[in-house]
Each structure stands twice: as C-alpha cells, then as structure tokens.
Amino acid sequence: MKTILVTGGGGYVGTVLSQKLVEKGYHVKVIDTFMFGDHLNSIVNLVKFKGDIRDQDLVKKALKDTDCVIHLAAISNDPCSELDPAITRQVNYEASKFLIETSKRMGVPRFIFASSSSVYGVKKESEVTEDLELEAITLYSKLKGEVEKVLFDSGSDHFTTVAVRSATVCGYSPRMRLDTILHIFVNCALNKGKIFIEGGEQMRPLIHIDDIVRFYSLLIEEEREKIDQQVYNVAFGNFKVIEVAELVRLKIPCTIEQTNVMDQRSYTLSTKKVSSVLGFKPQYTIEEATDEVKLAFEKGLIDPDDIRNYNVKLMKSDKFF
C-alpha cells in the first residue's frame, strides 16, 4: 500500500483527510505544527512529524520513502497572510518550493498541491475556467499562483504534478474553523441571533469538506495521463453571499444585517473540466454542511470562544510561533 505525506495534515481539511486515508489502508505521514490543536491522537498507523515546513531537515526526513505528497500546509486565507507578509512568503512560497524540488529529487512519484480558487481574483466571466488568466488580488492568492508555476516547471516523466483550485470548504472537522463564510454565518446565527454580511451580491464557490477529501483521495490513484500538469477547479456550486446567509436563516432563525460592500472578491467556478475528464461530482450539499456544523455546536463539539477556531485571532496572539 502506498505511503502518503500530508503537509498540514493536522489542519481543518488535513485532519479529515488524514483520517480518511488511514481508513482506506494507506500508510500516512503528517507534517504539522499542530498550533491549532492535535486531533490525530486517536488515529493508529499514522506517523506525525511535529514542526514547521520551513524546517528543511524535518521535510527531508518526512519525505523518505513517500509515494505521494498532498501539500496543504500554508498560512491560510487572505486576512492571515497580510498579518506578516514576510512569514507568509517564507511558508507559502519558499517552503513550498523547497518541498516540491526536494520531493522530485528524492524520487517521490506524485505531488498534489492545494492551490485556491482565489487565484482568479475578480472575474466578470459567467464561468471561471481553468484556462483563464490569473489575476490574484491578495498576497495569499498571488503566492498560490507562484507555487503552481514552480510545481509545473518541476514536472517530469517521473514526477506527476497536479494543482487543485478548491472552492471555500465547509462542514465539520475536529479541527474546526469559524472564520470562513458558512461557518461565520452559522456561528453568528446560533450565538448572536444575527448574521452580518458585507454587500451580499458577491459570488462564492463552496464545497463540502467530505467532497474535497474524496477528491484528494481520487488524485492519489488517478491515471497519470488525466492529471499530470493539470489544474482542476472543484466546487459544489456558486452562491451569492446573501444566498448563503438566507440558507443559514432557514435552518437557524435569525436576522440578517447588510453593510456596505468592502470585500470585492467575486467569481463563479466552472467545474466542467473535473466532471468531464475525471468524472468527479460532489455528493454533499451546502445544506448538509450547515446541518452538521449546527449539530456540532449543539453537541458541544465546537467552542465558539476557543481562539484556535479562528486563524487570525490565534496569529495575532502571543501563541503564534
């Protein structure tokens, strides 16, 4: 059975992905700082390398005898990346570049990179396809685009490379995030009785966490010819911000308060390529994601006051690095 290295394997998506890969019978290794908590302790047959992906010795140690790298680790989302641009570049670009080049040098056959749909910036096209020009407007998304270039420049007959431009992920994870759109709205509706939104007409692509995990799993075994040097958009669907708020209000009685538009990002992802080439179709709805996050709150599985559920808050605290 193949050995998979998941960088950021203790993160929001990584925690669920690592567990699913172990359940599938893979040998799984994880690199993570676990600064947001370690939710992998109960998983057997999993090897953890606790540390920073900027630690080159640790990276080389973790890469030994690896069949596939799934690179999730990053200072994640736009607000976090702006807090310390120098550290963001070190982690999101320089460490990623070293990881890619070292993976190739050490004979890792396959490298899967978690890029982001935010690389497209603001698009007027009704459907944003993978061949459109990247017009990133934030440091986070710009660096994702730069790493994609490094990745594809490194590709060879013996080093399969693929990038995933995922929609915003939603749904419950043991390592929860409460700073993404759907989770913000559910938290506000449950604990404040009011959802605050900036504008409302901006478009956001969303995908359930179980679907993005399924997609990463698919890429491990997919035929090389279908994924090598390829980029894939992955999303359940595209929603106006106000539509997401209204969806949550149907599940959780609350009021919605709109403010002037400050967040200009707006784009609608096309998923025709991933559907036609790989036959991948999401199985879980955004309504299901809302229900499970609501239930997790009600069961006490999510603490709205835990700073580790908010990336920016933790990074601003004295607990960061």
Each residue of 85-125: pLDDT tens digit?
Answer: 888 999 999 999 999 999 999 999 999 999 999 898 877 78
pLDDT of 321 over the 80 cut: no
* 321 within some domain: no
Share of the chain above pLDDT 90, in %: 79
∠ CA 260-262-266, rounded to 5°: 110
- What pLDDT is stored for residue 263 in this prediction? 66
**SS3 string of the chain?**
CCEEEEECCCCHHHHHHHHHHHHCCCEEEEEECCCCCCCCCCCCCEEEEECCCCCHHHHHHHHCCCCEEEECCCCCCHHHHHHCHHHHHHHHHHHHHHHHHHHHHCCCCEEEEECCHHHHCCCCCCCECCCCCCCCCCHHHHHHHHHHHHHHHHCECCEEEEEEEECEEECCCCCCCCCCHHHHHHHHHHHCCEEEEECCCCEEEEEEHHHHHHHHHHHHHCCHHHHCCEEEEECCEEEEHHHHHHHHHHHCCCEEEEECCCCCCCCCECCHHHHHHHCCCCCCCHHHHHHHHHHHHHCCCCCCCCHHHCHHHHHHCCCCC
- What pLDDT is stored for residue 313 in this prediction? 79
pLDDT band at 288 (very low <50, low <70, confident <90, very high): very high
CATH number of the domain to which 164 belongs = 3.40.50.720
pLDDT of 302 over the 90 cut: yes
Average the pLDDT over 28-46 and give the result: 92
pLDDT of 212 over the 80 cut: yes
Cβ atoms within 10 A of the Cβ of 141, count? Answer: 23
The residue count of the chain comes to 321
| CA–CA dist 272, 260 (Å, integer) | 33
Question: Residue 153's domain spans which residues?
Answer: 3-316
CA 7 to chain centre: 12
Average the pLDDT over 297-314 and give the result: 90
pLDDT of 315 over the 80 cut: no
* 8 within some domain: yes
pLDDT band at 261 (very low <50, low <70, confident <90, very high): low
* 78 within some domain: yes
Lowest mean pLDDT among 81-90, 126-135, 189-198: 81-90
* 205 within some domain: yes
- What pLDDT is stored for residue 318 in this prediction? 59
CB proximity list for 63: less than 8 A, separation 6 or greater: 5, 69, 99, 102, 103, 106, 108
Lowest mean pLDDT among 76-80, 168-172, 279-283: 76-80
- Taking all residues of the chain, what is their mean pLDDT, rounded to a whole number? 93
Average the pLDDT over 116-142 and give the result: 88
* 285 within some domain: yes
Share of the chain above pLDDT 70, in %: 97
Instruction: Single out the residue of 91, 140, 95 nearest to residue 116, CA to CA.
Output: 140
- What total of structural domains would you count in the chain? 1
Is the model more confident about 120 or about 153? 153
* Spatial strand order in the sheet of 203-208: 168-170, 203-208, 237-240
Tokens of 93: 């670009």
Average the pLDDT over 274-286 and give the result: 98
